[in-house]
Amino acid sequence: FTVDNDKLQGGFMLCFLDDGCGMTPKEATDLIYFGRSSKRTSLSRMIGRYGNGLKSGSMRIGKDFILFTKKEDTMTCVLFSQTFCETEGLNEMIVPITSWSTGTRKPVIDDLEKFTVQMSIFFKYSPFMSETELLQQFDTIYGRSGTSIVIYNVKLMLSGEPELDIRTDSVDIQIAGLLYNLPERWSLRAYTAILYFDPHMRIFIQAEKVETKHLPYCFYRPRMYPYITSSCKGTAMKEIKKAEVDVKIGMQYPELAFYFKIEIYKRKLLIDFILLRELRRPKKLYLIFGINIENRSQDGMFIYNNSRLVRMYEKVGPHLKQGSCGGAVGMVDVPLEALEPTHNKQAFVNVKEYNHLLTSMEHYLIQYWKDIGISKSLLFSLAYICLKWRVLSSSTDIENKDHCGIWTCEMIPGPLENKCNRPERLPSIPLGTLNRLSLSPNAKEKFLIDSIQRHQKKLENLQSQVSSGSVKHSIPYLNAYWLLLQLCMHPAHFTKKCIRFIVTTQYYHFS
């Protein structure tokens, strides 16, 4: 959601709020180091890898962000500000971190001077000018734990307007001036609806709930194919090298060595053990395909990593040919051990493995297209000489467009229609019937009650007009309405002759 603030660049703050597990002061400290993650192993069931790109993602949206998090009995605030570092002329990123006790709301400090300096940085370079305002932000986290992130000083276009458009749609956040046929590329609401492969969370944008989609069940005639990945050796070796680099960094800097030495060493051993085991075990995935019948132009491959969307609408093979496999959509959820995403979650580091996956999905797409029988659909074309409609049933003819242009009956391979004197043999179209839905007793009763209420209202209006003298000769009208009302309330008390009289009377007076 957004909060207007004219004092900031762009005129608003972009806020993210969750009711998750939150972070302790130590976990919040780990957060500020680029590339640090507890999600690298297959033992982790967390979505994504480094979260959803907090540092790299937020720095693309705005110049600064401030984080508020609650967990257990502490509340922690973290300021990540490019404005602060640029203004103070700093050569490295300095991140103030301060914690308070949840119960007493007293600061948790071991160095009063350091706390005072950090608070002065908060007051000067964040939208909150006092400790009271900072503590009030923790109240927005209504549960016992959770996290709130406020991004401000958002990026601007050359025109001076914010890159994010929050005015066009009051319940959406859009990329300004970017309107493609694919709303997921410019609408945050549309993008978050498909962001997760198997969503089990509530997402709200501008206080309006997002209708998330479970893509495998959103398309017509879905079909699933098992797929075995190749060896994950390349990815595993990269992970091992990263763990070794972490150890070297911890040893080079004494101030970090004491804090990270044991933890990094344990993590390295765990990664070595798990990933070396993964070298010998290919992964079994499932490629899922379906038809987007609502919009056939929106097709392609959706590639998820640890249930988080990385690539969407990737065109492969038949999609690159105009009119081929239109509307066919494929999707796959790839584990981290098979493909490694980039920091911004928009591409994959393992380009070779990724291209191999797309090639495999191309082959499976062709097989899916054959399995569902669309490629075997009959095609009808008009013969040039005899002007008779002929049936072309060969999928090869359809794909090669052999029927286009000028052609004659002699060009048809089948003996039944390869001469102009042969009659047309068009297939019959099945005859359908309309099955009207009968009203249930409750629906009939509701319909009758609504009808009585409408006539009662009309009767009251006429009575008020008669009493005021604004309508003359209204007695027949009132009698007709009264009889009709009695018929609706007590239909069993009237004979067929009486009913015909009432209907005739009403028609005579109101037509």
pLDDT block averages, 10 residues each, the chain of length 511? 92 93 88 58 50 74 94 93 91 90 90 92 94 93 92 93 93 86 91 93 94 92 88 54 56 52 59 57 86 86 93 89 81 87 84 91 91 73 83 51 67 77 83 76 79 80 71 53 57 51 48 44
**Which residue, of 162, 178, 196, is where some domain finishes?**
162
Residues 258 and 143 in one domain: no
Domain membership of residue 340 (yes or no) is no
Q: What is the pLDDT of residue 287?
A: 95
Residues 268 and 137 in one domain: no
Structure tokens at 511: 């037509």
Domain membership of residue 503 (yes or no) is yes
Domain membership of residue 144 (yes or no) is yes
Q: Answer whether 284's CB lies under 8 Å from 226's CB.
A: yes
Q: What is the pLDDT of residue 510?
A: 45
Q: Answer whether 44's CB lies under 8 Å from 337's CB.
A: no
Q: What is the pLDDT of residue 38?
A: 53
Q: CA-CA distance, 67 to 78, in Å (whole number)?
A: 5
Domain count within the chain = 3
Residues 152 and 257 in one domain: no
Residues 111 and 235 in one domain: no
Residue type, 75: M
Q: What is the pLDDT of residue 372?
A: 87
* Phi, psi (deg, nearest 5) at residue 65: -150, 150
Residues 122 and 35 in one domain: yes
Domain membership of residue 396 (yes or no) is no
Q: Answer whether 195's CB lies under 8 Å from 308's CB.
A: yes
**Which residue, of 162, 197, 223, is where some domain finishes?**
162
Q: CA-CA distance, 366 to 329, in Å (whole number)?
A: 12
Q: What is the pLDDT of residue 396?
A: 38
Residues 250 and 138 in one domain: no
User: What SS3 state is found at 337?
Assistant: coil
Closest CA to 223 of 336, 369, 67: 369
Question: Which residues of 342-472 form beta strands (DSSP E)?
Answer: 379-382, 389-392
Q: CA-CA distance, 511 to 508, in Å (whole number)?
A: 6
Helix (H) or strand (E) holding 352: helix 351-371
User: Considering the entire predicted model, what is its pTM?
Assistant: 0.70
Domain membership of residue 344 (yes or no) is no
Residues in Cβ contact with 207 at an 8 Å cutoff, skipping those fewer than 6 apart: 1, 171
Domain membership of residue 276 (yes or no) is yes
Only one residue has tokens 């009271």, namely 132
Q: Which letter does DSSP use for residue 11 in this model?
A: S
Q: What is the pLDDT of residue 146?
A: 93
Residues 158 and 18 in one domain: yes
Residues 22 and 156 in one domain: yes
CB contact burial 434-454 (16+ within 10 A = b; e otherwise): eeeeeeeeeeeeeeeeeeeee
Q: What is the pLDDT of residue 72?
A: 87
Distance of CA 112 to the CA centre of its chain: 46
Domain membership of residue 299 (yes or no) is no
Q: Which letter does DSSP use for residue 272 in this model?
A: H
DSSP letter string, 166-201:
-SSSTT--EETT---S-GGGTBHHHHHHTSBSS--S
Helix axes 475-489, 441-468, angle to 10 degrees: 160
Domain membership of residue 189 (yes or no) is no
DSSP letter string, 359-370:
HHHHHHHHHHHH
Residues 142 and 12 in one domain: yes
Residues 255 and 137 in one domain: no
Q: CA-CA distance, 376 to 176, in Å (whole number)?
A: 44
Residues 151 and 237 in one domain: no
Pairing state between β 164-165 and 146-154: unpaired
Domain range enclosing 493: 443-510
Only one residue has tokens 């993008």, namely 191
Residues 246 and 154 in one domain: no
**Which residue, of 132, 162, 192, is where some domain finishes?**
162
Q: Answer whether 151's CB lies under 8 Å from 9's CB.
A: no
Beta bridge partners of 479: none
Q: CA-CA distance, 510 to 116, in Å (whole number)?
A: 85
Q: What is the pLDDT of residue 509?
A: 47
